[in-house]
Chain A
């Protein structure tokens, strides 16, 4: 998948969207897209367009998530799912290697990397930026994560420009949306206008072009493009939440000893939901196991969270035992130290952490409080 900007735009009718799913399947991609399960919109394998949450939107507020009917039959009229695409690039549980013990000593055998290709349907701008943030962690450092690299290379991205923003969205503050800029293979914008229902399609790569060629499409007209910009503009205007990122790193670095952290800790349950739903959180742990014969061992990697009690365990105790220190670690890392580590913010403004916090702690409000406390 190349990341060249290819400005050719096309239009496909909504009743031809199935062709896209079929074309991808034909090319050997496992097609993963949004569907409704357990009263939420999640990302799972889909076969037909009818499985999409047609005419459904998600109402998200601090600590609240509910699905409601839309006034139209939009295919992608919702914002972000409780999970993120990181589930498919950095799987929650992975086997790293296995080892055997014999008289010749230990013999290590690494797990082979998967060959299966996958296509993500409906990646939002904030989500694609989150993937780029994780690319910096896993692909651009001194060491490269081989599994992430392979999965990433095998991923086809069908991005979607948002037509609806929830109360928790703040991508505009983080410069991560709602409009896609690059990094996709195809980017769709859904237009519903009177009787018309179509997608404006931007091609972002050679593979994207290859897939598009096999679909019924026509070149986008000027009015199609105007409609597209209009729709995106509407979405921008729906965004209510703001995060002031002005000098945020300096603000956080000078707030380590603020009383605010203890205040948050009276509400925070350290349940780790925020880290599980966050599309950029990357912490993992390793588990070494043996079987009963004790001559076979395995090492597994699992998602972990800095909110867990023994995340920072050393020498008989935890460096961060108080909830306030753990919340501080998460927030200061996400919005502050991440910038020094990887050159970007760790936050893409998707609002998931606000939605899925059982007590509705809002990261943007916490920053506001820190600014207030410092008079900045």
Chain B
């Protein structure tokens, strides 16, 4: 739907955005809140889409937008330090500027989920691309039936958005960690072990999954064995990206370009290739 997207004049040229706030989520993950310097209008995007963030002189990476799509005076990105550019992003402070290109990509199927149970399964940093969807569900709560969020991280120290998790009370939120010290009072085990606790009608549920690919594979298996069909399972994929507009060829996954056919895919569409190696 072209009219809902921010119009992109030259999709290779970044726009300058200024960082208004930096939030330290965990020891290696930060959220930056930005607003556009040269455009006064709000940044329009759909939950699940991403921007290419450029740090001056260092480089550019694709990062999902992790803020609300309904209140866009500022937009946010939650980034984990895993390379040169992400390390540089997480060293930025309020007042610094970055280049932003976007929004790009496909979005979570929030319209399709209306009237259904929704199950959201997030692993690690995978909660960030799902947060805009969660915000949408929160502010349109009456349109959806039962909403369950299952979230797994490595340790309790890796849990994101700890302040907000409390506020998501109109939904069932279950958190688990892979390993912990004795202070943690919650679940221990991989996120798939939380699925038995989730209440949903498999014939009328939409699932949205984001996390490391192996985690997504096992989560899909677990949801399938609960009776959810492949056409109701959506995942967010990742590949090397250079241009984000379907020209550089790097992000191909079989016939799909992750940057424009994804990153959100219906599992039915890509299941043929998903478990094959080196695709």
Direct A/B contact, Cβ within 8 angstroms: yes
Contact A146 B10 (CB under 8 A): yes
A322 to chain B: closest residue by CB: B278
- Complex contacts, B238 vs chain A, CB 8 Å: 314-315
A337 to B272, CA, bound (A): 13
Contact B14 A108 (CB under 8 A): yes
| Interface flag for A114 (CB, 8 Å) | no
Contact A312 B250 (CB under 8 A): yes
User: In residues 45-82 of chain B, which contact A (Cβ within 8 Å)?
Assistant: 54, 56-60, 82
User: In residues 282-319 of chain A, which contact B (Cβ within 8 Å)?
Assistant: 282-286, 288-290, 294, 297, 299, 304, 306, 311-316, 319
- Complex contacts, A321 vs chain B, CB 8 Å: 278
Stretch from B114-122, B166-174, B181-189, B241-249 that touches the partner: B241-249
User: Which listed residue (B242, B260, B276) contacts A256, Cβ 8 A?
Assistant: B276
Contact B242 A284 (CB under 8 A): yes
CB within 8 Å for A106 and B99 given contacts A282-B247, A284-B247:
yes
User: Which listed residue (B56, B246, B250, B278) contacts A143, Cβ 8 A?
Assistant: B246
User: Which listed residue (B10, B12, B99, B240) contacts A99, Cβ 8 A?
Assistant: B99
Contact B11 A319 (CB under 8 A): no
A106 to B99, CA, bound (A): 7
A283 to B257, CA, bound (A): 12
B249 to chain A, nearest CB (A): 4
A286 to chain B: closest residue by CB: B242
User: Which listed residue (B16, B60, B247) contacts A145, Cβ 8 A?
Assistant: B247
Contact B8 A143 (CB under 8 A): yes
CB within 8 Å for A108 and B99 given contacts A286-B242, A312-B240:
yes
| Interface flag for A375 (CB, 8 Å) | no
- Complex contacts, B12 vs chain A, CB 8 Å: 96-97, 110, 146, 299
Contact A319 B240 (CB under 8 A): yes
Interface bracket on A: 35 or more
CB within 8 Å for A284 and B243 given contacts A99-B99, A107-B16, A333-B252:
yes
A256 to B273, CA, bound (A): 9
A321 to B98, CA, bound (A): 32
A147 to chain B: closest residue by CB: B12
- Complex contacts, B273 vs chain A, CB 8 Å: 256
A349 to chain B, nearest CB (A): 21
A290 to chain B: closest residue by CB: B57
B98 to chain A: closest residue by CB: A106
| Interface flag for A341 (CB, 8 Å) | yes
B19 to chain A: closest residue by CB: A105
Stretch from A70-78, A134-142, A220-228, A229-237 that touches the partner: A134-142
CB 8 Å contact bits of A78-121 with B (1 = contact, 0 = none): 00000000000000000011010100011110100000000000
Contact A285 B279 (CB under 8 A): no
User: Which listed residue (B97, B242, B254) contacts A106, Cβ 8 A?
Assistant: B97
A332 to chain B: closest residue by CB: B254
User: In residues 199-221 of chain A, which contact B (Cβ within 8 Å)?
Assistant: none
B52 to chain A: closest residue by CB: A286
Contact A337 B60 (CB under 8 A): no
| Interface flag for B221 (CB, 8 Å) | no
Interface size of B by Cβ–Cβ distance < 8 Å? 43
Contact A314 B99 (CB under 8 A): no
CB within 8 Å for A110 and B10 given contacts A283-B250, A290-B57:
yes
A96 to chain B: closest residue by CB: B12
A306 to B278, CA, bound (A): 13
Contact B248 A304 (CB under 8 A): yes
| Interface flag for B196 (CB, 8 Å) | no
| Interface flag for B37 (CB, 8 Å) | yes
| Interface flag for A8 (CB, 8 Å) | no
Contact A341 B257 (CB under 8 A): yes
- Complex contacts, B107 vs chain A, CB 8 Å: none
| Interface flag for B18 (CB, 8 Å) | yes
A308 to B15, CA, bound (A): 31
User: Which listed residue (A138, A146, A288, A333) contacts B60, Cβ 8 A?
Assistant: A288
B103 to chain A, nearest CB (A): 13
| Interface flag for A14 (CB, 8 Å) | no
- Complex contacts, A299 vs chain B, CB 8 Å: 12
CB 8 Å contact bits of B132-158 with A (1 = contact, 0 = none): 000000000000000000000000000
| Interface flag for A257 (CB, 8 Å) | yes
Contact B16 A337 (CB under 8 A): no
| Interface flag for A9 (CB, 8 Å) | no
Contact A319 B246 (CB under 8 A): no
| Interface flag for A38 (CB, 8 Å) | no
- Complex contacts, A341 vs chain B, CB 8 Å: 255, 257
CB 8 Å contact bits of B261-279 with A (1 = contact, 0 = none): 0000000000011001111
| Interface flag for B239 (CB, 8 Å) | yes
Contact A106 B247 (CB under 8 A): no
Contact A108 B240 (CB under 8 A): no
B97 to chain A: closest residue by CB: A105
| Interface flag for B13 (CB, 8 Å) | yes
Contact B278 A337 (CB under 8 A): no
- Complex contacts, B257 vs chain A, CB 8 Å: 341
The 7 closest A-B pairs by CB, nearest first: A105-B97, A325-B278, A283-B249, A290-B57, A337-B255, A340-B255, A143-B245
**What are 26 A-B contacts defined by CB distance under 8 Å?**
A97-B12, A99-B56, A101-B56, A106-B14, A106-B98, A106-B99, A108-B13, A108-B15, A137-B246, A138-B247, A143-B11, A143-B245, A146-B10, A253-B272, A257-B276, A282-B249, A284-B247, A297-B56, A311-B240, A311-B250, A312-B240, A313-B240, A314-B240, A319-B279, A321-B278, A325-B278
Given A105-B18, A143-B245, A288-B57, 7 more A-B residue pairs with CB atoms under 8 Å apart are A96-B13, A106-B16, A142-B260, A146-B12, A283-B249, A288-B54, A319-B239
